[in-house]
Each structure stands twice: as structure tokens, then as C-alpha cells.
Structure 1
Amino acid sequence: MWRPWVNASASEHKSYVHLDIGAQRTVLAVHKKILAENGPYGAIKRTAELTEYSESTVKRVVARKEPRKPKVNKSKFTKIDSFTKDFIDRVISDFYSKNMSPTTMMIYEELTKDGASFPYSQSYLCKALKHLGYRYSTLNKRQILMDSPRLLNLRDQYLQEILRFRDLGKFIVFLDETWYDTHDVANKGWTKEDSNCTLDAPASRGKRIIILHAGSEDGWVDGALLLSAKNMANCSADYHEDMTAALFERWFENQLLPNIPAGSVIVMDNAPYHSRQKELVPCTNTKKGDIQKFLKKHQIDYPDKATKKMLLNIVKSKTFKKSYHVDEKAKERGCELICIIIIHFYLSTYFI
């Protein structure tokens, strides 16, 4: 018998498969013919031999009595082509460019606006978005802050400055700090309750070591490594709070500046302990007597019976040049300082 729907040999039976409607009709017709000629005994086995499908597949088709349309695997999203994917990406990107958080309904309305051809219903759009890698989750506000116009402008200024110094052939040094807890151990691992799967971890919390160093394209600066230890019981969760301006300034003056060429360019982030001012301009937290002393020092007159608020308004009406400890020390060596915004982590010393 000629069987145009089969390419394999009769001895090779196919495993569990989903047959299309045409193949199901063929199986039913062959089975019906065998029943009419030979009766029900061995009809399933003979049909499987002739159609070269497994007996289980033939039984399943015969049991239904009518061809059934096979289920569509929705997870494949066969309707999503590159044009539709780009269309969805553009719509969602436009919402965020307008500082709007899009919902499924907002996206669907935009996709179907002005009679645009979109192959999914609104209820199916959510699954399509997940297939494309989108997740309805908490927004990354840090990224929004990083992309603000003010910070983007500061980033561009930094890039222009660093390129200018490189063109001038300046020796550029990058500095940063990190930490290490001496008794850090792994928190998870494969273990059993009735076995000796334990770590030889010390009972005490140990010490936190602050590591401060500087380097350039030629490698680490000789003699600039600083290791400062502190008991963990006295440490905060954020190591930045364990680093002090006095410690940094002492390292900057005694270990960094003497070991780099005069006229170098020093790059660092704007952590508070990097930029301690020599003289703070009074603010609302400043005592009234200190504000008066500040105004007298700068030879600024004020009424004898002025209130604290009046004194602060006088301070705000004037412009004071900020002076930093590390800036003064760098100038003595003929060095220049560049500060990068700490939130732009990808511009840190390790990625320059």
C-alpha cells in the first residue's frame, strides 16, 4: 500500500507525537478499512504497522473517533517576529523617556493606537512581555537617579577632563578603598544533619580591615597600600562609615603624595571623607554663637539683636569659596584632583 505521509521504513515506529488533522484522518481511515476486512482483533497493531506510528498513538487517535486539532504551544509565541519585538520595545522605552511607569493596559492601548496591527489580545500581551524578558517588578530608582540630567552633565565633564589630561601626557593616579572581614565564611553549602559537615569557623566576629590603595596604568603605587583594622563589634554595616576623613587625609599626605610624580592627576570619588572642608559654611544645625564667629571672621556686619534665622539669611546672601584639606595638600605638590560621582560606579578606578 502506498503511504505518501510516511518517509521512514516500516520497521521504524515513531514515538509519542502530535499528529496533524490530515495524519489523524489517515489513521482513522486505515483502521476502519482493517476493521471491515479482518474485524477488531489485531486492528490497532496492523494499523500501527501500516502507518508507522506507535500503537499508543494509534489507540489515542482511534479512541477520539474524530480528528482533533493539536494544541498550540503558546510558549513559543510564533507570532512574535523581529518587527513586533522592536515595536513593543520602542513603546515601553517611550513611556520611560516620559518618566511614566507603563502598565499592561497602557502598553496595549499604545500598541493598538491608530489602527496599528498587533497580533495579541490584551490578556495575552502579559505572557508575550514575559517571553521577551520583561518582568512586572519594583523599578530601579537608582538607575533613574544615575540618568538624571545633572548627573549626566557631571559625567560628561569628567570624561572631557580625563581625556584632556591624557592628551597632555599627564601621569594619572586612581585611588579607592574597600574592606575585608577576617572571619568571613560561606553561609551556605551542601550538608546533612547527621554528618560532620561543618566549617572550622572562629567564634568571634574578628576584625574589619579597610584597604586603601592607588594605582595607574603602570600598576600599583609603591608604598601607598594602607591596611587599617577595627574590631567587628565596633563596625557598622556599611564600611564607608568606618572610614574617617582623618585616616584618609593622613594616608593621602604621607603615603600617596610622596610616592607619585609632582604634577600628577589624582582621580577619586566624592565620598564625604575624601572631601572634608577646612571651614564649614554655617547651616541650620550650626549654633547661633558659631554663626556669629563665622561672620566676624569674614568681616561681615550683622545686627546686634539678630536672630539665628536672620544670621543664616545673611550667610546665604554671601558667596564663600569652599576649601578642602586634600586639595591644599595636592596643590603643594603641583597635583590636580578630579572627583567622579560615586553613583557612577562604572567610572570608578577599576573601569578606566
Structure 2
Amino acid sequence: MAEEESVNKRPRRAFSSTEKLMMLNMFNSFKTASPSASHNEICKTVASSMGVSWTSIYRVISEKKTNANLRSPKKKKTRLTVCDKIDDFTKCAIRRIIHSFFLRNEIPTLDKVLSKIEEDGSLGSFKRTSLHLIIREIGFKFSKRCRNSMLTDRDDIFFWRRNYLRDIVKAREVGKNIYYLDETWINEGHTMPKVWSDTTITSARAAFMSGLSTGLKNPSGKGKRLIITHVGSEDGFVEGALLVFESKKDGDYHKEMNSDTFENWFKGMIEKLPENSVIVMDNASYH
């Protein structure tokens, strides 16, 4: 049994009224020049000359018999998007409103941006869904927050890191217990896994030249903040050495972790470590 072959049908081409008239005139010209030729032969000759299918010639002749005037295909109307309906001034104003949140290190949600637009009064009225489309159209994307920072290798950092690695190697060679100490924080701003970021700002210089910002800094968002201090090693955290207290300020948490608080905690924590231990910490002022 012969295999069945699937043939994709070529889509029918739409011709303008000028192209149809050219086909019809050529058909009449060939018919006048060769009165003995059949209808099919003339159609195929015209199709070959014009580089179209012979069925297209048939359709044009049939259309002329039915309608006195040959018509061009209807053009599809292009619908304007929400972003097409607003001018560049409004787009720039919305961009600056979003960057005003970045400069305050506050997360720009749709509701907050919409509220600012309404307060302005000169930018018009937008629905929440329309504003979402506009923000995307002008170059923002709603993406997962990136907390990676590029290491800047200044000379002092390079030598500091080299000396640290040498000291750690020596401590390991003599069998010392190495513990790592640090502080951190957590606040309500960390519950936002995704935020708006401006994809048109590619560098700090571009942001400066445009009078805009480079985006949100971490942490961002208002709310209660807990300051956490702990120490641990490759075997895990030291039991009973955790220090957690609530921050009373919205600024840098280092202002509340002062030398008195740190020293009181450190005295109690160091008694929990075995002898012959090394504690690794950064160069915070209270350390």
C-alpha cells in the first residue's frame, strides 16, 4: 500500500485592484492576439508571465463578471494599545514617579504608583490593569530581586583577603577550631520576592544622566525589624549563642548593635566555645 503524503496547501494571496486590472488586461491582450487559444491555455500563459497561479487568474475574471469594479482587500485596522494613547511626557512622568520610590528605597507597587498619579492630577486617570501594561511597555519588568553584589578589588581589599586566607590556612594546619561570627537583620520588606525594575537603566552613569535611580537597595520596605547575631562553625551554630532583639529605628541596624551590646553578648558566647578556638569576624566598629 502506497504511503500517504500530506500536502500543505499554499495560502491564497490577496491582490490589490491595480494588480487585478493588470491580470485582466493581459488576459484580454493574449485573447485578442490568439483568438483560437482556449480559455484555460490563456489563463496559464498569463499566470506564467505574471508569476502567479492560474487559479488566481480565474478568480479575477470571475470577479469582473460579477462586479463591475475590481476591489482591493480590506485593510485590517491597527488597534492602539494603552501605551500608544499616552504621550511621551506622561510616560516620562510615570517613570520618574517609580524612580522616586527607588530613591526613598521603598517598593513601588502598582497601588502606590497609581495613588501618586492620582495625586498629581495632570497625568490623567488610569485603571490598575492599564497602568500595569504601561509600566511594562516603557521598559520595566516585574522580576525576582537580585541580591548579588559585584566584588570591587581595590588594592587594600586584595591584600586583606590574601592575609586572611594565609591566616586561615595556618589555623587549620595546627588544628584550631574555626568559628565565624556575624550580624544580620530581617524585616517585612524581605517578604517581597519580586519588584519592578527599570530595564532601560543599564548603569549608574545612565541613571545619573537621566536624573533617575539604579533601583531599590536592600533592605527595602517599612515594618518591624529583628537584629540577629550568631556564631557557628562547620559543625553548625553554637548552642545558646543566639542573640535576637527588635530594632527601634528604621535606619542602619549597625547603629543599634553598639559596642556595649556586642561586648556583653560576646563575653557570654566565648565561654561556650572549646579551647584552642579562632573567631572570624568583619571590621565593624563595635567589633
Shorter-chain TM band: 0.3 to 0.5
TM-score by length of 2: 0.40
Q: Which has the higher contact order (CA 8 A, sep 6+)?
A: 2
Scaled by the length of structure 1, the TM-score of the pair is: 0.33
